[in-house]
Amino acid sequence: MTELECMIVRIVLLQARLIEVGRTWSRGIANSIASAYSFYFCVLYYLME
C-alpha cells in the first residue's frame, strides 16, 4: 500500500470510530435527560397529592 492509501484507510477507520462514540454519547445523554425528567415528574406528582 502506498502512503496515501494508508492515510485514507486510517481516516475512514477514525471516522467510523468517531461516529460510534458519538452514538453512545448521545444515547447516554438522552438516557440521563429522560431519567431526570421522570424523576422530576414523580416529584411533581408527589407534591400535587
* Cβ neighbours for 9, distance < 8 A, ≥ 6 positions apart: 1
Q: What is the mean pLDDT of residues 23-29?
A: 91
Q: What is the CA radius of gyration of the chain?
A: 21
Residue 1 has pLDDT above 90, yes or no: no
pLDDT, position 9: 92
pLDDT, position 11: 92
Q: What is the DSSP string of the chain?
A: --HHHHHHHHHHHHHHHHHHHHHHHHHHHHHHHHHHHHHHHHHHHHHH-
pLDDT, position 42: 87
